[in-house]
Homo-oligomer: A and B are copies of this chain.
Amino acid sequence: MENNRIKKIGVMTSGGDSPGMNAAIRAVVRACAYYHIKCVGFARGFQGMIDGEYEELNARSVRNIINLGGTFLKSARSKDFLTKEGRAKAAENLKEAEVDGMILIGGDGTFRGGKVFSKEHGIPVIGVPGTIDNDIFGTNFTIGYDTALNTVVEAIDKIRDTASSHNRLFFVEVMGRDAGFIALNSGIGAGAEEILIPEENLGLERLLDSLERSRRSGKTSSIVVVSEGDKIGKNVFELAEYVKENLPRYDAKVTVLGHIQRGGSPSCFDRVLASRLSIKAVELLLDGKRDQMVGMLNNEIESCDLDKALKSKPVMNKDLLRISDILST
């Protein structure tokens, strides 16, 4: 790998944290050590860049963190970085620190900020997709998504224990304001009766029909997985009320899984994904590339322009809705 310009790389995590971010940081740091360049970690995402809060990281700094949830560099959303002044301050700090390129681990808000920053100040950035929502174009999987699916499925397994002991209906709200990836896949994995996602409004009628049909077919308990951003026009508590009114035989309960979905030790899949993507990110910088996002497409590590990643939305596999229908027969 030839490289006559990059001598020091900065790394940060930004936006909502996700399991595997520590594995990603570790891989950036180890790849820098492997290629004999320096690495500094900025705290709290863009805010740490503005505040000049960073430290040098070597191969030993990241030992025994691959299995930890969260991000030891901490994350934050920075209002200051939305201003020209804030970004200028960040650029100044980077120059002072002699950072030749930045690796940004986060979601599309992070990448959007990074693109503007790179254009304004000429510092190359590479995005590594880290978010549990899996809502980034240019990669089949984002870091943390697989772990979040397991967390949701394990939680619903527990809820099913009590649901089936009591012949109850449970509405379980999972994360995903704009994308139904978590709801759809965890719903299938958890054996949910119905799955409500932002991408498709199946209508309240269908929900009642489906639950009624289930009951008549001999099912005594049911789980409905609901995405935060479901399009049915009711939140999870209103849904439960609506069903109780219209299907009085059902004893409907609600659970909102909340922030447990963001934490936890990353799955093997997320650790390997984070490692591969982050090494690629370092290699892209060394190779003179800039303003790219790394991703896993069809099991290969690829890269694309940040612009392209930001302009498009990942396509939900609608066939999974059909799968879910068949499985809840």
Identify the A interface with B (CB < 8 A): 13, 16-17, 19, 21, 26-27, 30-31, 33-34, 44, 59-60, 63-64, 66-71, 74-76, 140, 146, 149-155, 157-167, 170, 185-186, 188-191, 217-219, 253-256, 258-265, 267-269, 271-272, 275-276, 279, 298-299, 317, 320, 323, 325-329
Known contacts: A189-B268, A268-B185, A269-B269. The answer to whether A17 contacts B150 by CB under 8 A is no
Distance between A143 CB and nearest chain B CB, rounded to angstroms: 13
> How many monomers of this protein are in the complex?
4
Closest-by-CB residue of B relative to A276 is B323
A-B contact pairs, 21 of them (CB 8 A): A17-B162, A30-B328, A60-B217, A64-B164, A66-B190, A67-B157, A70-B160, A71-B165, A149-B267, A149-B269, A157-B263, A162-B262, A170-B259, A186-B268, A253-B259, A255-B260, A269-B269, A275-B323, A276-B323, A279-B327, A298-B298
Q: Which residue of B lies closest to A214 (CB)?
A: B59
Interchain CB contact under 8 A, A275 and B327: yes
Given A158-B263, A260-B158, A271-B153, decide whether A191 and B66 contact each other with a Cβ distance below 8 A.
yes
What's the nearest-Cβ distance from chain B to residue A66, in Å?
4
